[in-house]
Structure 1
Amino acid sequence: MAAEQTAPPEIRPETGGKPDAAVVRDALGVGVAVGLSGFAFGVTSAGSGLGLLQTCALSLLVFTGASQFALVGALAAGGNPFTAAAGAFFLGTRNAFYGLRLSQLLALPRALRPLAAQWVIDETTAVTLAQPTRRAARIGFTVTGLTLYVLWNLTTLAGALGAQALGDTDAWGLDAASPAVFLALLAPMLKSSTERITAALAVVLVLAMLPVLPAGAPVLVAALAAPVVLFLKGRSTPGETGADAGARTHAAAPGASEGIGNSAKGQAR
């Protein structure tokens, strides 16, 4: 019987999985589509006052779009560099949780894990988790990460050089690129009503704090939206009330009555 044991439920056996070509095709599609948006970051970063080397270093070392846009956006608004970096850090902490999940699925050698950690972002996580086998997961993660990392850095360089050639980016309205691209990256992630409510509350908090806090600080206050929504959601569904219990008992009544009736018939026989 030991020989018939199957793989863990999250990774099915390697036989009958998704063809490698299909995995590569899907991974390339995600990597190319998202990687091209690095151009917007390059333009925005250069327009916020960062130099060419600083802009490219952010994409090479940070490599998480939302955090990068948050950082340069806060700096462009005149925020303190430390406050801007704190906001970017909090946005990037989600990647640590992604890494915990991907480490189980990919089971990479220890020597490769520090290198692979650089590619743990939203897109690589989504492609990896969609695969049926460990082999497909590794291919999806590698192709998505490599494609996205190369394209993101190349387009960042192109965007920064283009912004320098344009001169005053504010005259072209390119200061709107940062919030626009940030919203474009964020919107597809808001799938449940709880997530949408949290995002809406975060926007309200930011708008309320803009007149009273220094630039870069409102995004830190917006982080309070998540625990507030979770607290209110927990208060609205505090376990099972008497009404809930009554409703559930009423819903189960037909089956319960039938069971009691059958038991009585059996005893009568």
Structure 2
Amino acid sequence: MGQNSCVSFERRTVLRDSLSVAIPVGSYGAAFGAAAVAGGFSVLQACALSLLLFSGASQFAVVGVMAGGGSAISAITTGALLGIRNGLYGMRMAPILNLSGIRKLIGAQITIDESTGVAISQESRGEGAMRYGFFATGVGVFLFWNLFTLIGALGANSIGDPSSWGLDAAVPAAFLGLVWPRLVDKKARMAALLSLTLALALTPILGAGLPIIATVLIALVLGWKAS
């Protein structure tokens, strides 16, 4: 009984972490829906992008390129480039999730910044908690993101500037809440500081999502030195 209660408490804790990320991130889908319709996409096309592509940075990039008069090939290429980091996340999570069949397809679709971030933040609780956090966050973001994409697309004309809602600040705030408890030693704080500095420096130069890929180099260098 005691063990079951402990497992239940762990699940509630992980679920709380997952929802604290999934809700603010998913709600930002309204901004995408509004931006897509404002850029010339139909409501159906906006929703299809969220269902099939399901990668915030890539989706905004596709809409931006197409709205700016770019070709479909340019939009697809840009979106694919920004999606490279999801492939890196997949390599990190594959041995932990150990999926096959339809579950592997579902896992691939929800392998994003948020699901990977929450999963890794549960590392001290074991692989079971990591898997639970991955799926709870990934599915949560997917549902909320698609729901709010529809809401944003339908209400595009009355929403105005989505950035005025402050949703863009809610997303990094949710990630900060996950990262902060893990900065317990000098090495972790140094990695976070260097990553933040590099990301801020590259943001005006590179497209959305690419600075995050660049910060992976810091983790690789620090990991190599530690070994």
Give yes or no for TM over 0.5: yes
Residue 200 of structure 1 corresponds to which residue in structure 2? 201
What is the alpha-carbon distance in structure 2 between the residues aligned to residue 151 and residue 78 of structure 1?
Answer: 30
- Radius of gyration: which is bigger? 1
Matched AA of 1:160: A
Matched AA of 1:136: A
Is 1:96 the counterpart of 2:87? The answer is yes
Residue 70 of structure 2 corresponds to which residue in structure 1? 79
Matched AA of 2:150: L
What is the alpha-carbon distance in structure 1 between the residues aligned to residue 56 and residue 85 of structure 2?
Answer: 13
Residue 121 of structure 1 corresponds to which residue in structure 2? 112
Is 1:70 the counterpart of 2:70? The answer is no
Matched AA of 2:58: S
Output aligned runs, 1:150-161, within 5 Å.
150-161=143-154
Matched AA of 1:54: Q
Work out the number of aligned pairs and report it.
Answer: 193
Contact 1:23 1:139 in 2 (8 A): yes
Residue 140 of structure 1 corresponds to which residue in structure 2? 133
Contact 2:43 2:150 in 1 (8 A): yes
What is the alpha-carbon distance in structure 2 between the residues aligned to residue 226 and residue 129 of structure 1?
Answer: 19
What is the alpha-carbon distance in structure 2 between the residues aligned to residue 68 and residue 181 of structure 1?
Answer: 17
Contact 1:44 1:72 in 2 (8 A): yes
What is the alpha-carbon distance in structure 1 between the residues aligned to residue 93 and residue 143 of structure 2?
Answer: 21
Residue 252 of structure 1 corresponds to which residue in structure 2? none
Q: More helix per residue: 1 or 2?
A: 2
Shift of 1:118: 0.3
Query: Are residues 153 and 140 of structure 1, via their aligned partners in 2, closer, same or farther at CA, if it must alter by over 3 Å?
Result: same
Identity of aligned residues (%): 38
Aligned residues: CA RMSD: 3.4
What is the alpha-carbon distance in structure 2 between the residues aligned to residue 26 and residue 194 of structure 1?
Answer: 23
Contact 1:43 1:159 in 2 (8 A): yes
What is the alpha-carbon distance in structure 1 between the residues aligned to residue 84 and residue 154 of structure 2?
Answer: 30
Shift of 1:28: 1.6
- Normalised to the residue count of structure 2, the TM-score between the two structures is 0.71
What is the alpha-carbon distance in structure 2 between the residues aligned to residue 30 and residue 198 of structure 1?
Answer: 21
Unaligned 5+ segments in structure 2 are: 1-5, 177-190, 222-227
What is the alpha-carbon distance in structure 2 between the residues aligned to residue 40 and residue 119 of structure 1?
Answer: 20
- Normalised to the residue count of structure 1, the TM-score between the two structures is 0.61
